[in-house]
Every structure is written in C-alpha cells, then in structure tokens.
C-alpha cells in the first residue's frame, strides 16, 4: 500500500519504495523496521537497521539505499517540508535544547525503539493513512499538516531518552529560550531554505540584523561549529547532489549554485571534496558500479 497526498507519502510495502543512490532527501523520513534488515548510507556514512529499529532522516541529507534483506518489512512515513515549514520553529522554542537533539539525530539516524515508541510510530502511521484516504473531508490537508507537525514534535521529545542530555531535566523545569537560541534557530532556518545558495556569513548576518562576528560566535557557542562550517556543509551537500544525482554539466551546476564562474566553482569543489568536479563524479560513480 502506497499512499500519497500532496507532501505526504506513506507505505507499508517496501517493494514500492525505491530510493536511487545519492538522492538528496527532500522529505522528513521515518522508517520503522518490523522484520529483516536494511543497510544504507546518509552523507556517505553507512548504517544498518534491523527488526525493532527506527530510522529518521532529516531533509537535505544525501541518502543512499544499497542493500536490503529479502524478508524486509516495515512502514515508512515521508513528510514534505511544506507540512511543517514556517510553524515548527515556533514549536521548537518550547525546548531550548532542540538544536542539540537535531544535531544528535543527524549523527545517529538509527535507534532501537521501545515498545511505547513503536506503538507511537504505528499510531501516527495509521492516523496519516486514514486522513490521506478521507477524500471527502475539506479539512484533510490541514489535519494532515497538524498531525505531521505533532509526529515531528513527538520524535523530538523521544530523543530525550536517546541522546541522554544531562540538562534535559532542568530544561523541562525552565522551558525558556534565550535570544542566542532564537538567533541560532533562525540561522538554521535560513540555511535550510531549498533555493538558498549564499556562501558568506555576512549575507546571513545582514538578514538576521547582527554582525558576522556575533553570528559566528553564537553558532560556535550553541553548536560547537562556526556559521561558516554550517554554510559550507550545506553548499557541499548541494554540490554532491547535483554531481551524483543529475546529468547537469559543471557549468550548469556552477550557475545553479550562483558561483561567479566555473573556475571558482572548480576550486571550491577541489578544496572541499579533494577532487575536481568531474573527477569526483566519475570516482563516485565508478565505486558504485
């Protein structure tokens, strides 16, 4: 069963779900493995999910699907960004540690679910399935959006037990968000916009009405990484996607990502990927063959 409605895709038949190697995820993806095993990569790192595991992949990550056991069974929920974009940041302000959990999730996409977490996932799966089939309901899109947001918040909450943050208890007692937390969140929100190709800290600082030095200092304090580290990771992810997932020429990719010229683009790729664009593309495609 594969159900699709606007920016929601759900399925309980893994034969219907095909992910091409080196695909940039445009969805918030949650997969619960009920039987068998799945081996895949996120941002080049290999992971394995087996029975009882929950896999969560955030948008704009490079996702590769490589091997699955013949008896693989599970349920997958794919939630497009339009279902929570613009409203989730406000919800995240409830929890001052949301960004720590988000980072933890990106580094630990596979977790073994508890009995409660398994039931919770299946409950949301069934709810979204039911709503997607309710074609006579004029509020269907709104209900799906609210339910999708609730599912994302539930995952954020359950990360308390996965990430073992020492300050979780105090955070619950004082659910206050500082100005620095809000600034960092707004920066990440800007960075995550699909068509964003800015490569300079100054461009983001101007939008956030702060100095580049202050923005970078806040990012370093809140995440252990500078603003430029975050920007570079985002740009490099886009470069990998276009080189490995499309047939666009180097010139076309440079133009799409707003580089001033091909020469500058090639130098940028060489610096961050260790190879010229076509060398990287050919090497990666060869390794997959």
Rounded distance between C-alpha atoms, residue 133 and residue 129, angstroms:
6
Same domain, 271 and 167: no
Confidence of residue 46 (pLDDT cuts 50, 70, 90): confident
Same domain, 129 and 215: no
Report percent pLDDT > 90 for the chain. 29
Same domain, 152 and 15: yes
pLDDT of residue 84: 61
Same domain, 25 and 80: yes
Q: Which two tokens stand for residue 30?
A: 């949650």
Q: Domain range for residue 210?
A: 179-288
Rounded distance between C-alpha atoms, residue 272 and residue 240, angstroms:
11
Q: Which two tokens stand for residue 130?
A: 């039911």
Same domain, 90 and 213: no
Judged by phi (left if over 0) then psi (alpha if -120 to 50, else beta), residue 44 lies in left
Same domain, 144 and 274: no
Confidence of residue 89 (pLDDT cuts 50, 70, 90): very low
Confidence of residue 249 (pLDDT cuts 50, 70, 90): very high
pLDDT of residue 122: 93
Same domain, 138 and 197: no
Tokens 């940028």 locate to 268
Same domain, 25 and 53: yes
Mean pLDDT of the chain: 80
Same domain, 50 and 192: no
Same domain, 56 and 105: yes
How many CB atoms neighbour CB 4 within 10 A?
A: 11
pLDDT of residue 121: 92
pLDDT of residue 263: 94
pLDDT of residue 174: 43
Confidence check: pLDDT of 32 > 90: yes
Number of domains in the chain: 2
Q: Which two tokens stand for residue 252?
A: 């076309």
Q: What is the pLDDT of residues 100-137, one digit of tens each?
A: 667 777 778 898 998 999 999 999 999 999 998 888 98
Confidence of residue 85 (pLDDT cuts 50, 70, 90): low
Confidence check: pLDDT of 271 > 50: yes
Same domain, 88 and 208: no
CATH of the domain at 187: 1.10.10.60
Residue after which a domain boundary falls, among 146, 171, 196: 171
Residue after which a domain boundary falls, among 122, 148, 171: 171
Q: What is the pLDDT of residues 166-221, one digit of tens each?
A: 444 444 444 445 788 788 878 887 876 666 788 999 999 999 999 999 999 998 88
CATH of the domain at 12: 2.60.120.280
Same domain, 269 and 142: no
Q: How far is CA 229 from CA 132, 196, 223, in A?
A: 39, 16, 10
Residue after which a domain boundary falls, among 141, 171, 201: 171
Name the 3-class secondary structure at 201.
helix
Give per-residue burial for 103-142: e unless 16+ CB within 10 Å, then b: ebbeeebbbebeeebeebbeebbebbbebbeeeeeeebee
């Amino acid at each position: 069963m594969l159900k699709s409605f606007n920016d929601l895709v759900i399925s309980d038949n893994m034969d219907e779900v095909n992910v091409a190697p080196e695909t940039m995820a445009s969805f918030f993806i949650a997969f619960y493995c009920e039987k068998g095993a799945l081996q895949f990569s996120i941002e080049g790192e290999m992971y394995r999910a087996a029975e009882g595991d929950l896999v969560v992949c955030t948008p704009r990550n490079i996702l590769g699907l490589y091997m699955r056991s013949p008896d693989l069974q599970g349920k997958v929920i794919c939630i497009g960004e339009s279902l929570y974009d613009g409203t989730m940041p406000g919800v995240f302000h409830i929890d001052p540690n949301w960004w720590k959990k988000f980072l933890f999730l990106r580094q630990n996409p596979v977790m073994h679910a508890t009995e409660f977490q398994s039931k919770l996932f299946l409950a949301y799966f069934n709810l979204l399935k039911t709503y997607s089939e309710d074609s006579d309901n004029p509020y269907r899109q709104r209900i799906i959006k609210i339910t999708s947001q609730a599912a994302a918040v539930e995952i954020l909450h359950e990360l308390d037990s996965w990430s073992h943050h020492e300050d979780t208890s105090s955070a619950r007692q004082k659910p206050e968000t500082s100005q620095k937390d809000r600034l960092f969140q707004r920066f990440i929100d800007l960075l995550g916009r699909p068509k964003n190709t800015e490569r300079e800290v100054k461009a983001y600082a101007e939008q956030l009405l702060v100095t580049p030095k202050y923005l970078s200092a806040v990012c370093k304090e809140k995440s252990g990484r500078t603003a430029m580290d975050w920007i570079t990771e985002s740009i490099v992810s886009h470069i990998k996607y276009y080189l490995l997932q499309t047939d666009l020429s180097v010139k076309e990719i440079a133009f799409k990502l707003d580089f001033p010229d091909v020469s500058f683009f090639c130098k940028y790729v060489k610096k961050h990927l260790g190879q010229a664009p076509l060398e990287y593309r050919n090497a990666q495609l060869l390794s997959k063959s």
